[in-house]
Amino acid sequence: MAARKRSLMVLSVSLAFITWGVFFPSLTNGSVHVETAEFGEVAVGSSSAIPLHITNTGSSTLILYFRYENYSCNFSLPPQEVVLQPGKTLVVEISWTPAEGSEGTTCSDTLKVIYGRDLYETVYITGRAVDASGPARGPNSTILIGERDTGVVDRLHEGKLISEWIDDCAADVKSHGQFVRCISDLTNELKKAGIISGKEKGAIQSLAAKAKLAP
């Protein structure tokens, strides 16, 4: 009888650990890396969106939750309960529309990426609201190629705006064909990184093919 009780106890403990591992996978060997996020300058009344890259650097599947320390900026909140496999990178989009009357102010908040009990990483998000009538610098408007509007919102990639990368392509090539190839390489990289969608990639490439480079 005593041996049977010991066996049942061992079985109960084993089942408890299995259940813990199934329902709380993020509490074992879990770690994440979150890149910084900055809107730059955004004109009041317009909207801007930036990608947030989150990488599971641990060996366990993580269940991610998102929470701001305060909601004073009205930055959008990523979706809840996102599952992230080991070694994978998740790209979520955060948008912001500066409120009327906030011209000249900088808004900031800290987003917590929670992946277990008392386990989280933080990312500091900031943006500066500017007058819509003035020149706003940052991912606040759509990308122009020449005088044509791609309809794609300008965003940061490796510390530079997409429009600045496009300007580099135009400055560094000697022919229209080289420009188109440069834009193709750029947009392929941006799509692979999750910065733009396939539709946005097509819009940029289409206008690049029609663009006339300055002599």
pLDDT digits (tens, 9 = 90+) for 88-116: 998 888 889 998 888 888 889 999 999 98
Cβ atoms of residues 60 and 28 within 8 Å? yes
Which of 33-47, 54-68, 200-214 is most confident?
54-68
Domain end marker among 66, 98, 130? 130
Residues 81 and 120 in one domain: yes
Q: In the prediction, which pLDDT does 12 show?
A: 46
Given CA atoms 138, 139, 145, 149 in this order, what sign does their dihedral have?
negative
What is the structure's pLDDT at 118? 85
> CA-CA distance, 64 to 53, in Å (whole number)?
13
Let me know whether 146 and 126 are in one domain: no
Half-sphere CA count of 172, side-chain side, radius 13 A: 10
Does residue 136 fall inside a structural domain? no
| Domain assignment of residue 203, given as a range | 142-210
How far is 60 from 71, CA to CA, in rounded Å?
31
Among 95, 130, 165, which residue terminates a domain?
130
Task: Provide, rounded to the nearest whole percent, the portion of the chain with pLDDT above 90.
Answer: 29
What's the number of domains the chain is made of?
A: 2
In a domain, 14, yes or no: no
Token pair 């390489």 is found at: 185
CATH number of the structural domain spanning residue 47: 2.60.40.10
Q: Is residue 99 part of a domain?
A: yes
Q: Does any domain span residue 10? A: no
Average pLDDT, the chain: 80
Name 81's Cβ contacts closer than 8 Å, sequence gap at least 6. Answer: 63, 64, 65
Q: Do residues 118 and 154 share a domain? A: no
pLDDT at 144 over 50: yes
Q: Are residues 172 and 90 in the same domain?
A: no
